[in-house]
Structure 1
Amino acid sequence: MFEFILLFIFFWWLFSRNEKRKERKRRLFKPSLDQEYKELIQSSDNSTGIALSVKAYLLDVLDDDNNDREKYSDARLAQGQEILDKAGASALYFMADIATQLSIVASAQINGIPNNVEADLRGSATPANIINKVIKI
């Protein structure tokens, strides 16, 4: 009876060890979007570089709009593709988060709702100032 229990424990340990190993491999080789975003935020060098790239991209798009340049020019598309290549799918999530913050600030200003960006800018709320305020590095 005692040998049966020991054999059962040994085989249970052997099979559960392989399952844990397979689970670790799955997590390592197939990261989800949330895992990529978490990794992007945790690595300070990478997230700072990507944040600077996104900020420069938004300011360049704004400059193109102010100077009546082509809206979807090859230069802007290449710049956006470079950001996506560098950061992966998490860059899209990061840019969508920034766009959401910008739309919330804009709707608050239109509706006359005071917010922290308006309080910090004190009447000088240009699009470039709002981008610089929202994307802090």
Structure 2
Amino acid sequence: MLEFLLLFVFFYWVFSRFDKKRKKRKLFKPSLDQELAELIQAEDNSTGIALSVKQYLLDVLDDDKNDREKYSDARLAQGQLILDKAGSSALYFMADIATQLSIVASAQINGIPNNVEAELRGAATPENIINKVIKI
């Protein structure tokens, strides 16, 4: 009987030490900024893919503004990389963005107020519209 009690006390002590170590580990969790940086750097999740698509659209816009080649090898490779990582969901996401941008453009042409125009308050550049439409 005494052995049973001693074994019980020993195992209780061992398991309680592991719980204390777990609590200490929880105190040193990464901050929200570090977690966000990890999410952005890891392009295998939806946030990283959305950031890649947003950067791709901004790069294509920059190429158009600076009179660079429209279908350059660099942009085609960048687009292929996004499609390889995300598959058909990236194509759907880009088509959805293009649809939203065309709706915003047609609303502005027809004089219909919309939420993007209200948020930008007259500073509607293509970069600002892309940043408002794609919120990450």
Smaller-chain TM-score bracket: 0.5 to 0.7
Give the residue type in structure 1 aligned to 2:47: T
Post-superposition CA distance 1:96-120 (Å, at most 9, x none): 0111000000100111000000000
Give the residue type in structure 1 aligned to 2:127: A
Return the alpha-carbon distance in structure 2 between the equivalents of residues 129 and 47 of structure 1.
Answer: 22
State yes or no: 1:49 paired with 2:48: yes
1:14-53 aligned within 5 A: 46-53=45-52
For 2:113, what is the secondary structure of its paired residue? Answer: coil
Q: Which residue of 2 aligns with 1:105?
A: 104
Shift of 1:121: 0.2
Give the residue type in structure 2 aligned to 1:125: A
For 1:68, what is the secondary structure of its paired residue? Answer: coil
Shift of 1:90: 1.1
TM-score by length of 2: 0.67
Shift of 1:89: 1.1
How many residue pairs match? The answer is 93
Could you tell me which runs of 5 or more consecutive residues in structure 1 were left unpaired when the two chains were aligned: 1-44
For 1:106, what is the secondary structure of its paired residue? Answer: helix
State yes or no: 1:115 paired with 2:127: no
Q: Which residue of 2 aligns with 1:58?
A: 57
TM-score by length of 1: 0.67
Q: Which 4+ runs in 1 deviate beyond 6 A?
A: none
Post-superposition CA distance 1:8-33 (Å, at most 9, x none): xxxxxxxxxxxxxxxxxxxxxxxxxx
Q: Which residue of 2 aligns with 1:74?
A: 73
Return the alpha-carbon distance in structure 1 between the equivalents of residues 106 and 129 of structure 2.
Answer: 13
Return the alpha-carbon distance in structure 2 between the equivalents of residues 67 and 136 of structure 1.
Answer: 25
When the two chains are superposed, the root-mean-square deviation of aligned CA atoms in Å is 0.8
Higher relative contact order (CA 8 A, sep 6+): 1
Shift of 1:64: 0.2
Return the alpha-carbon distance in structure 2 between the equivalents of residues 111 and 90 of structure 1.
Answer: 31
Return the alpha-carbon distance in structure 2 between the equivalents of residues 46 and 135 of structure 1.
Answer: 16
Give the residue type in structure 2 aligned to 1:69: R
Return the alpha-carbon distance in structure 1 between the equivalents of residues 59 and 108 of structure 2.
Answer: 23
